[in-house]
Amino acid sequence: MTPGVDVLVVGSGGSGAPLAARLSEDPSRRVLLVEAGPAPRTVSGFPRELLDGGTVAGAVPGHPDNWALGALLAPGRPYSIALGRILGGSTTINGSYFERAREADFAAWAANGSPAWSPERVLPLQRRLEHDTDFGSTPTHGDAGPMPVRRASLQHPAADAFAAASAEWGAPAEPDKNDSTTSGFGPVPQNLIDGVRWNTGIAYLLPAIDRPNLEIRGEVLVTRVLMEAGRAIGVEALVAGRPDTLFAEEVVLCAGAFGSPALLLRSGIGPADELRALGIEAVVDAPGVGTAFGDHPQLVLEWRPRRELPHPTGGWMAGALNLDAGAGGDGVDLEVLQSLLPMTALTTGMAAPDAPLPFLVSVHTPVNQGRIRLTSADPVDPPRIDYGYLRTGADRARLRRAARVTAELLASSAFRAVSEGLLEPEPGVLADDRALDDWVAARLGTSIHACGTAPFGPADDAASVVDEAGRVHGATGLRVADTSILPTAPRRGPAATAVLIGELVADAMRSGG
């Protein structure tokens, strides 16, 4: 057998980059990080549009640095899921939203036999990973970590109107969404420096790139984990398109909430009956792989300004209104996120002066109804992704609530000062449940915040795939470390929590856990 490295990390995204960087701080540990896409070695090596925090041009289907996976959000609603395929993964193409999960999320995850995820245990890691340029070093914030955190500016007429409308609507102020005991309106934390999207590749890996015990290889597409007598011994991969085998003492999958479960399934770890039906030998019967994931369904509601508004500086986001379940007695967690750029400008950088501006409205109530399956044993066939949205009456009611809350905000006197009004849905549609359900079904999107495809939990829980440190139940030498392992999608976007996962799993591995 060809000698291998100590740890092979598959994927350089939100979790994989922090994990590899932290592990390689130990000079005695040999770490190999492989990325399916390119692996630039300098900031200038990244395409300019991927560094621009004012757009999400890298998330457009067809861009060479993303995966565009086909998915079904609901019956008759196909969708394209854009995921990063370059150093830094999806943190290189996303909106640079960097909010922590809520304390209630951590408490719920810890309560299921995973004490390492308690709010008290994760706080030191949250402080360690960030360089908060607004609050500096405090008992809840850090000022020396790799990831910059800066809150979006509210110095814009539309942002000011949204703040006033939220107050008029009765929402409390939430000036720091990364240290708050209540939900309300406040500026969005972002991982931007002077408008540059600071992805995890730049933040964690470029400073470590010359360590002799860390090797970073791009254009390596891992297709399967090699298992021998229940132990991971390496991976099979296509290296620049050619088959190769890479050996390691331990393999950590950081390929994302769709990539990691697909690799587990191709490696014989998943629901045994489904694997056998595809001709894949079941190495570990793990019913929880890919069988119940969650995400945040999203709607885009647009409004037309009364006059031409100034171009935003420092990013496209401004403020967000977060409502906890129970606010207004509706039992729905909502986020109403304001964009200061039209949708076409977000993706292309260009838009007509009178183009409408959007609110991105998401339901954040944790619901796991999605499913990911293999369609064949061929390692390059994409998986089938079914979100299961709109499956129940409660699903439809939550999205009706999302649309109506946004319409109420836009109808406030504060917002009417800058807005000619909501483009759609029309008042008659908003007032009619069935008509609004039809409108939602035709326009439904998703936040691409998938979690729970390989959830952590106790080994005796059939739904759990890994333990709290990412170790795969029933296998040795194999871990998962990305948002796959979160039992539910958090009540805020998971980008900051993905980085936390890399920190937490690396910490556990370095301490022997």
Which residues make beta-bridge pairs with 284?
269
Give me the catalytic one of 131, 141, 449, 473.
Answer: 449
Cβ–Cβ contacts within 10 Å for residue 485, how many?
Answer: 33
- Beta-carbon contacts of 316 under 8 Å, excluding residues fewer than 6 positions away, are 53, 54, 55, 56, 95, 339, 340, 341, 345, 346
Query: Crossing angle of helices 119-129/495-510, nearest 10°?
Result: 100
Rounded to the nearest 5°, which phi and psi values hold at 190? -135, 150
Closest CA to 416 of 173, 162, 167: 162
Q: Is 63 a catalytic residue?
A: no
Cβ–Cβ contacts within 10 Å for residue 431, how many?
Answer: 11
3-class secondary structure per residue, 60-127: CCCCCCEEEEEEEEECCEEEEEEEECCCCHHHHCCCCECCCCCHHHHHHHHHCCCHHHCHHHHHHHHH
- Please confirm whether the linkage preceding 287 is cis (ω < 30° from 0): no
Question: What residue type is 440 in one-letter code?
Answer: V
List, by residue number, the catalytic residues: 449
